[in-house]
Amino acid sequence: MLPNHTSATPLLELIRLLNGGSPLLDNRAVHVLNTGPPRSLLVLSPDVAETLLRSPRLRQTSIWNFYAGATGLRLEDVPVLAETLTRLPLMLDGAAHRLTRQDVTRLYRRIEVKLGSWIEGFCGDFVEELRSQEHADIVKSASDFSDRLGRAMIAEELDLHWSDLPSLPDGLFVLLPVAGRMRRLEERMAAVRRTICERLAFVGRSAEEYWPLSTLMVMNRDATQAAMLHLLCRVSSGQLPANGRACLAEAAPVSLMQCRTLDHDAEIAGLDWRQADQIHISPYLLHQRAMPPEGPDLTFGAGPHICAGMRIVLASFEALIQIIRSNPLPSDLFDRPTPLLRHTVLSPLPQPRQTT
């Protein structure tokens, strides 16, 4: 059972620990985040995760349900945050997923049309800002780039400069949510919505367009942050990736969690699960591999679920690598990343039953 003093933990921190082979978490286990009811469970076992994902007994659900259960907050307490989380394509299923994804994909395509006119300058400014610092925090730098890229994409769509838009909150996806943090996130998300809706009204567009715009920012924020952290770690070790695609293939871990709910009590993968269990599955563990495979890989997916922002992300990482290769950053610029989950205690579920 989690101690009462445990603070909210961004998913990026968990991924950093897993990526480094940290002994702090047993990545073969299933852990209890909240004893409930309903229980909230984090699946770190690749075998269990794969079995669960294939089970017809699980249905997609919003991570908001987990937040609400863990904090006691109601939708009306944090309306913008709650609707943001429930509208993400990753949290939807069926027709709702397809329609939301279509809206976001159309937005990405419009932004791609003008990509060549700004992406190199945008990345160059970011690198020069890093270069101007005597020492830079590697996690903050990765977070800043991810946030700025999301704002830059929206700014191009609304004919603004990225700095004209409020910063999206860091750590929208957390393992251990607390009510105070959720209320602070609500304030930040409300400011983002207010600014974007005011601009939409100014240019004669519907306020409903806020949702695909904010969805793009949120979808970009966490995954790009994790990939950027990987790139900066490579830079700090003097091992710059060959190109953007190679870098993103190496950084294939996906930092968003998939949340599913069980429709009734069942035994799956040798473990007992309860109706209404909120099961958080880490795609990262299903993406682990020694070397990137040839052809389509798990960095961006393939087919109907391919990442809609693939071209923009590839272009930005390609530009970053070329800029840094032509004028390397100081080798001692970044502080080395350190584990941030040392006070997180997770309770393992009972081990799978032994069969004879």
What CATH number should be reported for the domain whose range is 11-348? 1.10.630.10
Q: What is the mean pLDDT of the chain?
A: 77
Query: What is the mean predicted confidence (pLDDT) over 202-224?
Result: 86
274: left (phi over 0), alpha (psi -120 to 50) or beta: beta
Q: Which of 57, 225, 204 is nearest to 150 (CA)?
A: 225
Those residues with Cβ within 8 angstroms of residue 72's Cβ, 6 or more apart along the chain or in another chain = 179
Q: Which helix (H) or strand (E) segment is 60 a member of?
A: strand 58-60
User: What value does the CA radius of gyration of the chain take, rounded to a whole number of Å?
Assistant: 20
Answer yes or no: are the C-beta atoms of 42 and 280 closer than 8 Å: yes
- pTM here? 0.76
Query: What is the mean predicted confidence (pLDDT) over 155-182?
Result: 84
Q: With DSSP H G I counted as helix, E B as strand and the rest as coil, what are the percentages for the chain, rounded to 5?
A: 55, 10, 35
Specify the residue for token string 């946030």: 147
Query: What is the mean predicted confidence (pLDDT) over 4-32?
Result: 50
Answer yes or no: are the C-beta atoms of 274 and 350 closer than 8 Å: no
Query: What is the mean predicted confidence (pLDDT) over 74-82?
Result: 93
Question: Given this model, what pLDDT does residue 355 score?
Answer: 45
Question: Given this model, what pLDDT does residue 340 score?
Answer: 35
Answer yes or no: are the C-beta atoms of 293 and 250 closer than 8 Å: no
Question: Given this model, what pLDDT does residue 7 score?
Answer: 34
**pLDDT tier at 131, thresholds 50, 70, 90:** very high
The predicted-structure confidence for 261-304, as pLDDT tens digits, reads as follows 888 898 888 888 888 888 887 655 555 544 444 444 556 666 66
DSSP β-ladder status, 334-335 and 278-281: unpaired
The predicted-structure confidence for 33-49, as pLDDT tens digits, reads as follows 777 777 878 787 778 88
Answer yes or no: are the C-beta atoms of 38 and 69 closer than 8 Å: yes
Answer yes or no: are the C-beta atoms of 338 and 3 closer than 8 Å: no
Domain ranges of the chain: 11-348
In this structure, the chain runs to a length of 356
Look up residue 190 and give its two tokens. 């409300």
